[in-house]
Structure 1
Amino acid sequence: MGRSLLKYLIAFTFFSFSGIVILDYFILPNYVGYNNEHYLPDVRGEYLEKATYQLRSLRFNTKPILIPYSESHTPGTVIKMFPRAFTKVKEGRTIDLTIAGKDEDIEIPDISNLSLRNAKLTLTKLGLGIDTIIYEYDNVISDGYISFQLPRKGQTVKSSTNMTLGVSRGAPPDYYIIPDIVNYSLTRARKSIINEGLRVGEITYEFQPDLVPNTVIEQNMTAGMRVSFPASINLLISTDKQEN
């Protein structure tokens, strides 16, 4: 009986060990896909065709996402990828590839009377950028909508072109208040004047080595004063360059 029990224990141990090996090395890997995973190669900087070939050779799918042209990227090359390079990914996964767009001829669309948000979406889809946004009062165009655009509709430009947009602030107020912009930088002063619905007037420079260059020293209209029209404010600006 002792020998039978020993044989039984040996057989039980053998089959248990064999079962664990089969489960660990054959069944589980096929079930969870361990043997079907690969580390993603880094295809950033490659042209779309080559990147697609490399990924599909590892049985990945690809999804190109085209973005507008930029001088900092070569058109047609991969800028980003998701999941990221060197990530372990299962076969059959779709890899998103962000591709730099080409500098193409674009006909400027008519975005007048669009909201600023919709205008931005329209321009972005065409690869056009926005350089400057000017807010101004308008008796006709509703608040937050495009009042003018440069270049104008119908003109043909490159897709990398930046546009200037005018955005309505609605009907003008009964009066305008002159802002206090002394000691502002010139850039900040311009924005403050425009935001009040006023205009930037004549800009003159004065040598002031003790001040930060492009600082507002004086303004020709008194801060806090009310005016009934969009007046122009003249500015005296500091410079560290002395005239010869």
Structure 2
Amino acid sequence: MLPLYVNSREVMTIPSVVGLKYEEAVSLLDSLGFEPRKGESRMDKDKPAGTVLIQNPPPGSIVKSGRRVYLTLSAGEIKVAVPNLLGKTLRDSKFALERIGLKLGAVEYDISDQYPVNTVMAQRIAPGVKIKKEMYVSVVISTGSATDKVAVPDLTSKSFNAAIEILKKIGLEVGNVSYIISPDLLPNTIVDQYPRAGEMVARTQPIDLIIVREGEHPKDYYEN
């Protein structure tokens, strides 16, 4: 129920419309004989767009009937356009996002015949789409063409998870995984690999690993 206001032929008390939607504020002010006017809009992450933030004169003011009441509205939360990251390096992409208040999200890797190695070949939110600040934009990094050959990295002494990430970044995948038990070696580390480090292989060549065993096997791989 709306509160009652002092009313006469000459003066009236202005009600508070702060927090109301613009249309609701206009309806209330009109019904009481005031003349609402839309003023400036301000960015406000806490109030939806179109919400009255400030009114002038302020609530409770005693004014003549027909007085104009200026309303400052919320423009909602600031949104920014997602930049075009295609063809950029991961470092440059991160900088481009942070410069406008966005964050780099998940990074995946895939083969691409179109984009050079270590550049963005896809982004999960299309360029130009407006999103809220602080949101994450995930990307896919090119590992080069499937026909390219790459040098096999040295994975010995690396953990199994670290090896997967190293291979993923250059477009290779883990092949067969075998296990050995040794009290002298650190569990879950790689002690041997095939092909050997430094060999040039196609991106379709899986890399077999021998890992020191302890407890459960890494998921999704099988023991020989």
TM-score, length-scaled by structure 1 = 0.43
Greater share of helix = 1
Larger radius of gyration between Structure 1 and Structure 2 = 1
